[in-house]
Amino acid sequence: MATSPILRPSPGTLRRRPAGAKQTSLTLFPPAARHGNCESPSGASAPPPVPDRRTKPATELVGIARLAASSPRAEAKRGTEYFLLPVKSILNECHSERVPFRWTVNPYRGCEYGCRYCYARYTHGYMELEASDFESKIYVKKDAGPLAERDLGHEKIWGEHIAIGSATDPYQPAEREFGATRAILEKMAEREGLSVSITTKSDQVVRDIDLLQRISARSSLTVNLSITTLRTHLARLLEPRAPRPDLRLAAVRRLREAGISAGVFAMPIVPWLTDREEDLDALALGAKDANAEWLGARVLYLMPDSRNTFMAFLQAKFPRLVARYREWYGRNADAPENYRKEMAARIEILRRKYALGSRPETPAARSWHSPQMQLALNKGEQECRT
């Protein structure tokens, strides 16, 4: 595992949510998965123009773009470059009322899986990189463990939900090399009273079953395996480097056997490719057989950078669908409302058929004790025994 010197950031001020923004309950249909990872420098829902960094001096770059430009390359393999990105915090605070949670964790920027439809491609624009660099230039957040330890100790996160993998996969291939996700989970395992969810396309999540059991024993924890289709060839076309669908279902089964709450995300449902009744039925049955507790679903949402990449993919592999997608997604990021309602109804029928939930059942909240309070309690107990 690659290591780096500990980055010692100056203490950052964590901002409170603006007045009027309401905390919503955790849902399996998060608008956050449509609109971003709350790491952008503004609340804009669309990416800013992306200048060519090769023609812009590094001294003119600001914010995350300047940090990215100065990030040392750690290594390169499989045609992918990895960079160590210094950050001030591991936890990202969301202020948008569109998202059902306040805090997100994305240990990596960029994702090697290269899913053709990935909504998060626009986030590379904030580093003044091309959307096409999203799967070939991966930025590893430095000192993930120490920063997570500091962030988790801040009172503003107490009682709030933390979503890991809201934009990029926490168990993408980079995790084998750098272990940023495990470093964060190790710090979470030392706490109690957290509310945490993990979303991934990787069966590598079972590597951390020991940590997940420790977290689950003291906090609320759910794991979501994202599976778009059980057709292996189609999955390989849509998600070139992601693990096979059967491996993901096997991961759900192992998590459940280990006593960890886990379910399946059929996200996204891709019109005319993964939406056939028999395909969705097979996926729901696979989830049931893996002992999944829920089946979440969401129809494809295409932001501009994602739309450009996806349309080029369709032109190369499914040219007969190009005209249909231009009609539906040419001016809108969402599919037509009647289609979304049709898919929601189809998924609900499958949930009832296979006795699957629509969302994780959040356990009763455990009381949170700050580290300082726990030390005081422990000291008091010792004094009472003497």
With cut-offs at 50, 70 and 90, classify the pLDDT of residue 8.
very low
CA angle 310–313–314, rounded 5-degree value: 90
Distance CA 374, CA 380 (A): 10
Residue-wise pLDDT for 212-269, tens only, equals: 999 999 999 999 999 999 999 999 999 999 999 999 999 999 999 999 999 999 999 9
**What's the confidence (pLDDT) of residue 385?**
39
Q: What percent of the chain has pLDDT over 90?
A: 58
Check if the beta carbon of residue 139 is closer than 8 Å to that of residue 73.
no
Q: Which amino acid is at 155?
A: E
Task: Please tell me the predicted confidence (pLDDT) of residue 262.
Answer: 98
User: What tens digit of pLDDT does each residue of 17-70 get?
Assistant: 333 333 333 333 333 333 334 554 433 333 334 444 444 554 555 444 444 444
Closest CA to 346 of 310, 295, 386: 295
For residue 54, give both structure tokens. Answer: 């090769």
Query: For residue 384, what is the enclosing H or E element?
Result: helix 371-385
pLDDT more than 70, % of the chain? 70
Supply 50's token pair.
Answer: 């992306």
177-188: average pLDDT: 96
Residue that has been written with the tokens 């929601």 in this structure: 344
Please report, in angstroms and rounded to a whole number, the separation of the first and last CA atoms in the chain: 46
What pLDDT does 96 receive?
Answer: 61
Model confidence at 328: pLDDT above 60: yes
pTM for the model:
0.77
Structure-model confidence comparison of residues 45 and 86, the more confident one: 86
Query: Residue 345 in 3-state DSSP?
Result: helix
What pLDDT is stored for residue 20 in this prediction? Answer: 37
pLDDT range class, residue 176, cuts 50, 70, 90: very high
Determine the pLDDT at residue 51. Answer: 42
